[in-house]
Structures are given as C-alpha cells and as structure tokens.
C-alpha cells in the first residue's frame, strides 16, 4: 500500500464512515470467535473486548483507539495481589497454599490478557482484509489512513503479547492447565499462521513448548498431591514421632515414577 503522504488529507466525514464500518467488522469477528468458542462468551476477555469497541464506536472522529481502551481494562496487579505476593516471598515452606493461591490468580489474569490480545489482533487483521476487499485495489487517502491506524494498534498489541508470552510459558510450567485451555491456545496459534503473523516452523515450536509445559504441569502436580496426601495422613497418625521420617519416605522423588502420557499430550498429538 502507498505511503500516506503521497495523498491529500483524508476527508473527515469519509473517515468517520470508514472507522465505523471497520469497527463493526471487528465486532462481528469477536462474535464469530464467541460462537466458535475460541472466545468464551461470559469471560472477562469477551466483555472487555466488546466494551472497549463500543466505547471506540461512540467517537469515530478520533482515530481508531479501541486498543488503548482495551489496554486500560486488562488485568493489572492490585494492592491485594501485591500484598499476597509479599506474603508468598516471606512465607515458610509449609505455607505452600499461599504460593498456589497467588499462582492461580496470576494464571487467570495472564490467560484473560492473552485471549483478549490475541482476539484483538485476529479481529483487526480480519477487518483489514475485509475493508481492502470492499474498497478495491485503488488506494485513497481515507483507506490508507485507516489501515495505518489499525496497523499501529496491532503493532502495539503484538508488543504487549510479546511481553506476556515468556511469563505465560513459565506459568504453564507451574500450574494445572486443562486440556480445553491448551487446545484453545493451539487453535489461536493456528490462526496466527493463517493470518501470516508467524510461520509454520514457528508455530510448531510454540506448540511443542505448550505441549511440554502441560505435561510438566501435571507431573509436578501429581507429585505435589502425593506429598500433601502423605502429610495429611501422618499428621493424623497416633504415632507423631514417626511422621517426619514416613513423610520423607513417601515423598515422590524426581524420576521415581514412570510418567504416563497426560490428556494434554494425547490431545495435542493431532495438532502437532
């Protein structure tokens, strides 16, 4: 597409119409994602996406700004979460429930952000292609301006996604990740490929990381649950003097059990 400065200034009235058309296409794509269950209908991510778009639609005199509105609504660390984080850092090892509580909280926030940002990028790319097809091959100042506005937002959203990407993989390694969530992330990665955001080689690498993370997650939690069960049994034992030695004897050691393929491993084989 030609550079914007090669054209006369965009017509404000036409820009309002184009922005409204573009955002209605984005909204339709959000609902398509909801109906296909890629975007859970009652999830915080879906509500924030639709609310931010509705707010942007109410002011089409401004350049596209639904990303900045969405970003304001994405989860941020609250005072309560910071307090829990501090408690987690100073709590003794026996209070692992504090860490688990904080971790579960973080996982949910990260997942909400991840789904919202990926859905935003997917919808904007879809709208860019749809508007380009609708307007034809001849570029005008208005459609060049619109594409630049959307592209800037997608760039900023992609930067945000890159920031949470590494943390997201680490969180998967230390939490229970359901098959539904892993499958949904895999589907989003395939959408990235179709949109041209990543290559097939990159997608396979990402899928392998997510698959390995899900398997490691469940292996870790199985060992933890066995240790916790031993602790509960010995704490109720009539012979407290033996509880410590028995607990150590029953605690699962790394590699002490043959790891069986989890549901995540089986479910992603067809994807990978």
Question: Tell me: the pLDDT tens digits for 150-172?
Answer: 999 999 998 888 777 554 444 44
Output the pTM of the full model.
0.55
* Beta carbons of 175 and 104 less than 8 angstroms apart: yes
Angle at 38 between CA 34 and CA 44, to 5 degrees: 65
Tell me 175's DSSP state.
Answer: S
Distance of CA 234 to the CA centre of its chain: 40
pLDDT of 225 higher than 50: no
Can you tell me the mean pLDDT for 196-212?
71
Q: Which two tokens stand for residue 49?
A: 């996406």
Cα separation, 230 vs 218, in Å, equals 18
Q: Which two tokens stand for residue 9?
A: 């200034």
pLDDT of 224 higher than 90: no
pLDDT of 248 higher than 50: no
Cα separation, 20 vs 61, in Å, equals 10
Average pLDDT, the chain: 69
**pLDDT reported for residue 113:** 83
pLDDT of 233 higher than 70: no
Q: Which two tokens stand for residue 135?
A: 């307007």
24 vs 107 pLDDT, higher one: 24
Can you tell me the mean pLDDT for 62-85?
73
pLDDT of 9 higher than 80: yes
4 vs 156 pLDDT, higher one: 156
**pLDDT reported for residue 165:** 52
pLDDT of 147 higher than 60: yes
């Amino acid at each position: 597409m030609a550079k914007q400065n090669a054209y006369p200034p965009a017509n404000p009235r036409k820009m309002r119409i184009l922005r409204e058309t573009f955002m209605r296409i984005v909204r339709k794509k959000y609902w398509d994602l909801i109906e296909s269950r890629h975007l859970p209908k009652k999830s915080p991510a879906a509500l924030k996406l639709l609310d931010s778009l509705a707010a942007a639609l109410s002011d089409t005199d401004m350049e596209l700004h639904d990303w900045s509105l969405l970003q304001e609504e994405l989860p941020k660390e609250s005072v309560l979460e910071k307090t829990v984080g501090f408690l987690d850092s100073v709590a003794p090892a026996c209070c692992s429930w504090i860490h688990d509580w904080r971790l579960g909280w973080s996982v949910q926030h990260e997942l909400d952000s991840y789904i919202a940002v990926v859905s935003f990028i997917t919808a904007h790319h879809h709208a860019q292609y749809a508007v380009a097809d609708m307007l034809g091959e001849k570029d005008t100042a208005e459609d060049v301006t619109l594409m630049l506005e959307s592209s800037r937002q997608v760039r900023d959203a992609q930067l945000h996604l890159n920031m949470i990407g590494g943390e997201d993989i680490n969180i998967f390694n230390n939490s229970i990740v359901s098959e539904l969530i892993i499958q949904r992330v895999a589907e989003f990665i395939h959408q990235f490929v179709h949109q041209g955001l990543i290559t097939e080689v990159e997608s396979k690498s990402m899928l392998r990381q997510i698959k390995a993370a899900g398997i490691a997650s469940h292996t870790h939690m199985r060992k933890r649950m066995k240790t916790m069960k031993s602790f509960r049994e010995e704490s109720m034992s009539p012979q407290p003097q033996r509880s410590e030695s028995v607990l150590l004897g029953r605690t699962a050691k790394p590699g002490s059990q043959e790891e069986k393929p989890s549901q995540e491993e089986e479910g992603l084989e067809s994807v990978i």
